[in-house]
């Protein structure tokens, strides 16, 4: 098997936020990936490049619009992100869930079971949790707004304290 040359170039940059450093990746189609500091950035760069058959280049200016909107979110100036998204890293149920999460209102939590109903997979709350964990664009696609039916947090790819901080920022009260 021979390796093929990358067919895509991804710009990447990092930014500091109240929940830690984020790694951002964008293609010509839009924002493709957000990674938390704990995700081991070198591995994320490699895996993202491999998944998209892409060459990754440090190009912070291309990510300025995303950085600006994320900063506005943390400064309580933005409730809805208005960014072009490249969803090629999401497929199957994850893609369905990501599209549904993108319309969840700011400041409102829903349960994994409710998301399962919304995407036409009633009774599959656990699969919805896995799809949320695979969300390539946390914060911008608000998987942090999905909680357990008992009102507790549930998991979060970035860590429980980050999910708690994002919900607190939006004024969501938990049980």
DSSP secondary structure, 6-37, as one string: P-EEEEEEEEEETTEEEEEEEETTEEEEEEEG
pTM: 0.91
Choose which CATH entry (3.30.70.260, 3.30.160.70, 2.30.110.10, 3.20.20.70) describes domain 8-74. Answer: 3.30.160.70
Q: Are strands 54-58 and 8-17 parallel, antiparallel or unpaired?
A: parallel
* 155-174: average pLDDT: 89
pLDDT digits (tens, 9 = 90+) for 21-58: 999 999 999 999 999 987 777 888 889 999 999 999 99
3-state class (DSSP) for residue 46: helix
pLDDT digits (tens, 9 = 90+) for 112-152: 999 999 999 999 999 999 999 999 999 999 999 999 999 88
**Which token pair is 40?**
């081991």
Cβ neighbors of 44 (< 8 A, separation 6 or more) are 23, 33, 35
Q: How many CB atoms lie within 10 A of CB 7?
A: 9
**Residue 2 pLDDT grade (very low, low, confident, very high; cuts 50, 70, 90):** very low
More reliable by pLDDT, 85 or 175: 85
Cβ neighbors of 90 (< 8 A, separation 6 or more) are 98, 134, 135, 136
Whether 132 is catalytic: no
Q: Which of 66, 139, 140, 143 is catalytic?
A: 143
Whether the Cβ atoms of residue 44 and residue 67 lie closer than 8 Å to each other: no
Domain ranges of the chain: 8-74, 92-169
Class of 92-169 in CATH: mainly alpha
């Amino acid at each position: 098997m021979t390796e093929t040359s990358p067919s895509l170039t991804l710009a990447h940059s990092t930014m500091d936020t109240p929940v830690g450093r984020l790694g951002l990746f964008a293609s010509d189609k839009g924002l493709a990936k957000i990674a938390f500091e704990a995700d081991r950035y070198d591995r994320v760069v490699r895996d993202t490049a491999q998944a998209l058959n892409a060459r990754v280049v440090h190009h912070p200016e291309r990510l300025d619009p995303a950085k600006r909107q994320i900063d506005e979110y943390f400064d309580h100036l933005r409730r809805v992100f208005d960014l072009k998204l490249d969803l090629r890293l999401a497929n199957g149920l994850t893609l369905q869930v990501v599209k549904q999460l993108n319309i969840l209102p700011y400041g409102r939590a829903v349960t994994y079971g409710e998301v399962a109903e919304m995407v036409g997979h009633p009774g599959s709350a656990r699969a919805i949790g896995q799809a949320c964990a695979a969300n390539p664009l946390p914060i911008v696609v608000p998987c942090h707004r999905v909680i357990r039916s008992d009102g507790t947090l549930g998991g979060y790819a970035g860590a429980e304290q980050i999910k708690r901080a994002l919900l607190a920022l939006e004024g969501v009260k938990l049980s």
